[in-house]
């Protein structure tokens, strides 16, 4: 399967994405990209999954206002978008798959000994820091 390209600020998420690769359509994901927005222009949507030919680009917002988003929020957004590679519409099946992917991500937080899932992300680095 082709590799997923990660933006520098989302490379930390590879260990999570890889842990759930049997649950979603890994070969359909082209890129996973993090972005920041101005606190003055915070969009209602915090992530998206955009079709690029026969593959998808996943975009995840990494800030909320002036703060970096919490790890658990970003993982939920990522699980939601990856579930779209299997179930495009927001059906119960999509929600169940989101939950299954998020469960895998939670197991990674155990393996990685993440002390607090509400830690704020250091967006350009895998390390996490306290709020
Ligand atoms: Zn969605």
How does pLDDT run along the chain (131 residues), one tens digit per residue? Answer: 679 999 999 999 999 999 999 999 999 999 999 998 888 877 767 888 898 888 999 999 998 888 888 999 999 999 999 999 999 999 999 999 999 999 999 999 999 888 888 887 754 445 554 33
The alpha carbon of 93 and the centre of ligand 1 are apart by a number of angstroms equal to 12
Lookup: tokens for 75 = 């993982």
Please give the backbone phi and psi of residue 53, each rounded to the nearest 5 degrees, phi first: 65, -125
The alpha carbon of 64 and the centre of ligand 1 are apart by a number of angstroms equal to 18
Q: What is the pTM of this model?
A: 0.89
Tell me the H-state helices in the chain: 14-19, 71-83, 92-111
Find the distance separating the first CA and the last CA of the chain, reported in whole Å. 38
The alpha carbon of 84 and the centre of ligand 1 are apart by a number of angstroms equal to 7
The alpha carbon of 109 and the centre of ligand 1 are apart by a number of angstroms equal to 23
The alpha carbon of 103 and the centre of ligand 1 are apart by a number of angstroms equal to 18
The alpha carbon of 13 and the centre of ligand 1 are apart by a number of angstroms equal to 19
CATH fold for domain 5-129: Collagenase (Catalytic Domain) (3.40.390)
Lookup: tokens for 25 = 């359509």
């Amino acid at each position: 399967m082709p590799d997923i390209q990660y933006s520098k600020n989302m490379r930390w998420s590879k260990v999570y994405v890889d842990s759930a690769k049997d649950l979603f359509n890994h070969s359909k994901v082209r890129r996973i990209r993090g972005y920041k927005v101005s606190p003055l222009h915070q969009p209602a949507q915090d992530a998206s999954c955009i079709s690029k030919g026969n593959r998808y680009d996943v975009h995840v917002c990494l800030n909320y206002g002036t703060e970096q988003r919490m790890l658990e929020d970003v993982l939920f957004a990522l699980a939601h978008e990856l579930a779209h590679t299997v179930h495009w519409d927001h059906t119960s099946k999509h929600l169940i798959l989101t939950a299954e992917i998020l469960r895998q991500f939670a197991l990674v937080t155990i393996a990685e000994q993440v002390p607090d899932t509400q830690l704020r992300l250091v967006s350009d680095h895998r390390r996490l820091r306290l709020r």
